[in-house]
Amino acid sequence: MPRKDKQVLLTDITIEAVAAEGKALAHVDGMVLFVQFAVPGDVVNVKAVKKHSYMEGYITELVKPSPYRLEPFCQHFGTCGGCKWQPLPYQMQLDAKTQQVYDQLVRIGHLDVPEVSPCIGSEKTTFYRNKLEFSFSNRRWFDFGESLEGLSDAQKSGLGFHVGRFFDKVLDIEKCWLQPEPSNAIRLYIKKLAIERGLPFYDIRNNTGFLRNMFVRCNSKGQFMVIICFGQENKKQREALLDAVAERFPEIISLYYVINLKKNDSISDQNCILYKGDDAIYEQMEDLRFKIGPKSFYQTNSEQAYKLYSVVRDFAGLNGSETVYDLYTGTGTIAQFVSAKAAKVIGIEYVPEAIEDAWTNVRLNGITNCDFYAGDMKDILTDNFVAAHGCPDVVILDPPRAGIHPDVADVILNANPERIVYVSCNPASQARDLAILQQKYKITDVQPVDMFPHTHHVENVCRLIRK
């Protein structure tokens, strides 16, 4: 929060609705007030600060809880920064996500759209993720009032998630509700071993220390891949740790390590070295198998990914004769998912390693009608590219949060496909792009999908038909 002299205490404020970015809102003297961790119907006292035309604040006292309010199930709620909507009933979360899509496309974007379909919910609202990253730190996060006096170095160390707004603080996680077991058991065992053996946790400020970060991936069969990243090499200690982890958890069928000497934790430019087991785990979707390596991108909610891709395939309306362009194809999962109902699918992606994964998977699945190209979308997708490879009948878009480049929109408009299916994790940038495409296209369907329960994030799919 800002300086105390700019804060004001607001009392007996009734929370009215769920708002954007995981906050809730109320009105005070005609001004909008955004509040973290509040539920519609709560009566609260709030420490707030004015920011231009609105206020932001945090709850200092829950005067009267809303009849809708649920008890958070995670002991780290409020500090971790994730799963902020735990106090909200799940149906209320889905309604809020549907409303979020409507607000971005219609109220803010002023787009001509049909009724937004209700957000498709996730059967699993906990233990639904197939990938998590944890960080080691020799300076863990301490809650307010928690004393450091008399604590050993081990007691000051933590293994968990970074705390928002503090790059050098890691919240030591006891139990995370995002990934199925033995994810928690693996993390806790590694921390216990490290402390017992005196292995130094990473000093994020000074870029020193042995244990740096780790990734845990799993598939629907309960098979795990673990990648442990070290800030320096010590072969004896490294092998002893990896051997112990492999022996303790037979579920880990793929065990990697990385020696990362640079100043950030990303492993995209690092050498992932297979220590034991298979070089990948595999995920199944209908009759397709997808190979997932240490750097592979795969939707982190596998079951919801299937629902999302099913919506995309339905919206594409393929009959087997079409040429499909799958733009921002990633590892080609959507391209392969729709390929059986298309004559030809062309995928384009910026990341070369992702395209390598796409080629691996099409060979694995015996698919012969997919072709992939790597490079910056605005450089690859040109009018000349379309002329050389054939005009698409259907274009599928699944860009990053920033949306598509204006040059890409121009090429799509020039290519004049019959249908466009636009998948987005950011309805705001999606609305901006749809406004451009509406020159020649009519939005006929809008379908939100919840990939991340207990968060405000939402995936949205729009179908556009040529006018």
Distance CA 322, CA 317 (A): 10
Q: What are the residue ranges of helices labelled H in 58-165?
A: 90-102, 153-156
Sheet containing strand 273-277, edge to edge, reads: 170-172, 158-162, 131-137, 211-218, 224-230, 252-259, 273-277
- Of 119, 176, 370, 425, the catalytic one is 425
DSSP 8-state secondary structure symbol assigned to residue 106: I
Cβ within 8 Å of residue 116, ≥6 positions away: 98, 101, 102, 105, 106, 446, 448
Considering only CA atoms, which of 197, 107, 185, 117 is closest in space to residue 157?
197
Residue 465, classified by CB atoms within 10 Å of its CB into exposed (0-12), middle (13-18) or buried (19+), is: middle
Distance CA 18, CA 458 (A): 14
| Secondary structure (3-state) at 452 | coil
Query: Is the dihedral angle over the CA atoms 10, 11, 14, 15 positive or is it negative?
Result: positive
Considering only CA atoms, which of 178, 73, 164 is closest in space to residue 133?
178
User: Do residues 404 and 423 lie in contact, with contact meaning Cβ atoms separated by under 8 Å?
Assistant: no
Question: Per this entry, what is the length of the chain?
Answer: 467
Q: What are the residue ranges of helices labelled H in 290-405?
A: 302-316, 333-339, 352-364, 377-380, 383-389
Task: Compute the C-alpha angle 415/346/305, nearest 5°.
Answer: 110
Distance CA 367, CA 218 (A): 25
User: Do residues 344 and 390 lie in contact, with contact meaning Cβ atoms separated by under 8 Å?
Assistant: yes
Element at 221 (helix H, strand E): none
Q: Is 425 a catalytic residue?
A: yes
User: Do residues 162 and 169 lie in contact, with contact meaning Cβ atoms separated by under 8 Å?
Assistant: yes
Task: Compute the C-alpha angle 300/465/313, nearest 5°.
Answer: 35
Which residues does the annotation mark as catalytic? Answer: 425
